[in-house]
Homo-oligomer: A and B are copies of this chain.
Amino acid sequence: MPSKCRQCIIKRFNALKTLTHDELEKFSDHKTSLLIKKGENLMTEGNSINGLYCIKDGKGKLTKLNTNGKEQIIKFVKGGDILGHRSILSEELVGLNAIALEDMHVCFIPKGDILDTIRENNNFSLDLMRNISHQLNEANTSISQMAQKPVKDRLAETLLHLETIFGLDNEDCIDVVLTREEIANTIGTATESAIRLLSNLKKDGVIDLIGKKIKILNKNSLKNISEGY
């Protein structure tokens, strides 16, 4: 039996915290629950979209396919994040692929309900703006770093960022499983280069590599590297 949105918001979501009781009831009644299995697409670049996705749990990547066919990872998402609002708001096609890194439980709320709520609940509307504005700021920072930092610095930056987003597992490793290729596609480099630089960081005692899991041993050192020292 699908749970009520109200229960879920309390437990997981920040993004929809401004909704009233009645609005949550409406969302509850109209929502669809989805299971997106590891590797499956929740949204696909270029498609149109007719609702908002709320991630209940699981982890995912937002990617863009380049003209040369290479995948660029733009952002990581997890439980509590919302997807598709940018596209709904701008009335443009979906700009990014959302792909599950592990099984994800997701709720789908129809576009009509979202737009109604934007019209009626000013706090919700302001909250969405805040969310997108914040993302825009992050994206601008990312442009600058992609353009001007060498690969090693971007790798260090990314490892710190991944820890911030996903936290640590019970063995103090960054709590997400990524292939070396995905790491490379995040920092914008060749897979071999990412592998080599990770090996170097391990050799220098800055990180440890346990299979696909990464443990940060010296956060300060990583910070310095990410800033070019």
Instruction: Point out residues on A near B: beta carbons under 8 Å.
Output: 64, 66-68, 70, 72, 74, 85-87, 89-92, 95-96, 118-119, 122, 125-126, 128-130, 132-137, 139-149, 187-188, 227-228
Stoichiometry, as copies per complex, reads 2
User: Interface majority SS on A: helix, strand, loop or mixed?
Assistant: helix
Give A131's nearest chain B residue, CB to CB.
B90
Q: Are B148 and A86 in contact (CB under 8 A)?
A: no
5 of the cross-chain contacts (CB-CB < 8 Å) are A70-B148, A95-B137, A125-B125, A143-B143, A147-B187
Q: How far is the CB of A145 from chain B (nearest CB, A)?
A: 8
Give A74's nearest chain B residue, CB to CB.
B140
A141 to B145, CA, bound (A): 15
Point out the residue from B72, B118, B134 that lies within 8 Å of A92, measured CB to CB. B134
Q: Are A130 and B66 in contact (CB under 8 A)?
A: no
Chain B residues with CB below 8 A from A125, complex form: 118, 122, 125, 129
A96 to B132, CA, bound (A): 16
Q: Are B126 and A86 in contact (CB under 8 A)?
A: no
Chain B residues with CB below 8 A from A92, complex form: 133-134, 137
Q: Are A64 and B144 in contact (CB under 8 A)?
A: yes
Q: How far is the CB of A66 from chain B (nearest CB, A)?
A: 5
A139 to B134, CA, bound (A): 12
Q: Are B228 and A86 in contact (CB under 8 A)?
A: no
Q: How far is the CB of A85 from chain B (nearest CB, A)?
A: 8
